[in-house]
């Protein structure tokens, strides 16, 4: 069986008061998941916005990854409960 889909993740970044906030949204056919991440510059560190963007985005994507795993676990349990899981 061949199955192909495209899922897109959009990352939204916002910086305020020395913190960078990232929101990563994954839209699939069935749901939208949102991961969030934050980075901050320590006092005395050089202000390099790209580093804050990278860290906040990585954290948002990690959060999104955990949510996607949780969604898969829930879906597997639901299918197994209905008896639709094929014995192998």
Q: Tens of pLDDT along 25-37?
A: 999 888 999 999 9
Q: How many domains does the chain fold into? A: 1
The verdict on residue 86 lying in a domain is no
Structural domain for 57, as ranges: 8-81
**Torsion-angle region of 17 (φ positive above 0: left; ψ -120 to 50: alpha; else: beta):** left
pLDDT at 84 exceeding the cut of 90: no
- Beta-carbon contacts of residue 9 (< 8 Å; ≥ 6 apart): 24, 25, 26, 61, 64
Give me the CATH number covering residue 47: 3.30.160.240
With a pLDDT cut of 70, the percent of the chain lying above it is 94
List the one residue out of 32, 30, 34 whose CA is nearest residue 22.
34
Paired tokens of 55: 């860290």
Q: What is the pTM of this model?
A: 0.84
The verdict on residue 50 lying in a domain is yes
């Amino acid at each position: 069986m061949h199955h192909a889909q495209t899922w897109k993740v959009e990352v939204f970044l916002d910086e305020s008061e020395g913190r960078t906030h990232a929101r990563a949204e994954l839209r699939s056919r069935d749901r939208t998941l949102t991961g969030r991440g934050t980075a901050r510059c320590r006092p005395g560190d050089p202000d390099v916005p790209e580093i804050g963007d990278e860290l906040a985005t990585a954290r948002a994507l990690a959060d999104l990854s955990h949510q996607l795993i949780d969604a898969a676990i829930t879906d597997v349990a639901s299918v197994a409960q209905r008896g639709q899981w094929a014995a192998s």
